[in-house]
Amino acid sequence: MAQKRDYYDVLQLHRNASEAEIKKAYRKMAFKYHPDQNSGDPQAEAKFKELTEAYGVLTDAQKRALYDQYGHEGLQQQAGGGFNGGGFGDIFGDLFGEVFGASGGHRRSSGRAGESLRYNLDIEFDEAVFGTQAKIKIPRHKTCDVCNGSGVEAGSEPEVCPTCKGHGQVRFQQGFFSVSQACSTCRGEGTIIKNPCKQCAGTGRQREEKNLSVKIPAGVETGTRLKLLGEGGAGSKGGPSGDLYVVIQVKEHPFFHRRGNDIYCQIPISFAQAALGANLEIETLEEKERISVAEGTQSGDLLYLRGKGVPHLNGYGRGDQVIELLVVTPKNLNVRQRELFVELAKEDGDESTHEHKSFFSKVREMLD
């Protein structure tokens, strides 16, 4: 059997820690490892039991004094198994009544929250930019119309569970440590249903398809999650409904693409337009705009239309539209075009040759 860790080390305390310090340390660590926070994690459950055991001893003056003097062996000899009135019940009532809804060793509320749901919604690029109102249909559980969520056939009542006597929990001894767990007969409800509702088979819920109208705010993007409170599955036995998460997927645009709140597009221009400059009419998200291309523009140069991008989500202002200019090399020249380019090449010849000679001269100077 593995040797027990020192209780002060478990709670990360010095040996003269006050009761307030012990409670503060336990509350912080136990919340982290509580089973409700770590469903299905055996390591977290073991850690939580270890923390609770340490807390139960160090907050009991008599047990703490015995432990400080004789250690774990002294506690085992005195206890002979079990905490006398301590354990989970007192600790939960003291520390976790408000956090986890527990109330000591008493039966918990039978109401359970409904499941949260996810809906993947595809929208157009323009709808993501400017917002829209989307109509969706959600398959979910609702409260049973016949039994109003009780799960019991009309004229019947739930019966007290014979195993846990209505507490919803059973206790068992593990060495000298007393452990509580949900009753397997009633699954922690404290009651059992002998005559279940025929409409919902005793679950208190039934399936439906709910039509919803969802407001999509301007500026959403792929991955944005919209939370609709209470629009998930109905709770059981009077528990609250879950929530609905609408996850946005934005379709690609044939002309624009988005980076943050800016939108980008590429505009082809001719050699003549790049060299001489030009005024062009281009598309934006709303209407056409005129832009000026400066003389000597190079392929890849950027122009900006301020405030023509995507609105900031839940904020003010908009991004920009960024225009990348692409100089297009002409193909299939006619006779006259070829003649003009030949003339242009001759005109550029001396200057180009001079620049090339100057460049290679500088390279040789660096290598010498």
Phi, psi of 62 (to 5 degrees): -65, -45
Round to the nearest angstrom and report the end-to-end CA distance of the chain: 80
pLDDT at res. 366: 54
Residues 6+ apart with CB under 8 A from 147: 153, 154, 197, 199, 200, 204
Q: Measuring CA to CA, which residue among 117, 280, 297, 148 is closest to residue 212?
A: 117
Architecture (CATH level 2) of domain 110-145+207-251? Sandwich (2.60)
3-class state of residue 199 by DSSP? coil
Residues 6+ apart with CB under 8 A from 6: none
Phi, psi of 255 (to 5 degrees): -120, -40
Over the chain (368 residues), the average pLDDT of each successive run of 10 is 79 88 88 79 87 89 80 68 42 43 43 88 96 94 88 87 85 65 82 88 89 95 94 85 94 94 95 93 92 94 95 89 94 89 80 51 56
pLDDT at res. 280: 94
Environment class of 94 (CB within 10 Å of its CB; exposed 0-12, middle 13-18, buried 19+): middle
- Give the up-direction half-sphere exposure of residue 193: CA atoms within 13 A in the CB hemisphere: 22
Residue with tokens 């629009």: 231
Buried b (16+ CB within 10 A) or exposed e, 334-368: eeeeeeeeeeeeeeeeeeeeeeeeeeeeeeeeeee
> Cα(164)–Cα(178) distance, rounded to whole angstroms?
16
Side chain identity at 198, as an amino acid letter? Answer: K
| CATH superfamily membership of 7-100 | DnaJ domain (1.10.287.110)
Residues 6+ apart with CB under 8 A from 320: 262, 263, 304, 305, 306, 307, 308, 309
Q: Are 111 and 239 in contact (CB under 8 A)?
A: yes
> Cα(329)–Cα(299) distance, rounded to whole angstroms?
10
- Give the up-direction half-sphere exposure of residue 312: CA atoms within 13 A in the CB hemisphere: 7
Side chain identity at 364, as an amino acid letter? Answer: R
pLDDT at res. 111: 67
pLDDT at res. 104: 40
Query: Which CATH number is 257-327's, of 3.20.20.70, 2.60.260.20, 3.40.190.10, 3.40.50.1470?
Result: 2.60.260.20
Helix axes 19-33, 42-58, angle to 10 degrees: 170
> Cα(57)–Cα(66) distance, rounded to whole angstroms?
9
Q: Are 183 and 140 in contact (CB under 8 A)?
A: no
Asked whether the domain spanning 257-327 has the same topology as the one spanning 7-100, the reply is: no
Please report, for the chain, the start and end positions of each structural domain, with discontinuous segments joined by +. Answer: 7-100, 110-145+207-251, 257-327
| pTM of the complete model beyond 0.85 | no
Cα dihedral angle (228, 212, 112, 240), rounded to 10 degrees? 60
Q: Are 141 and 207 in contact (CB under 8 A)?
A: yes
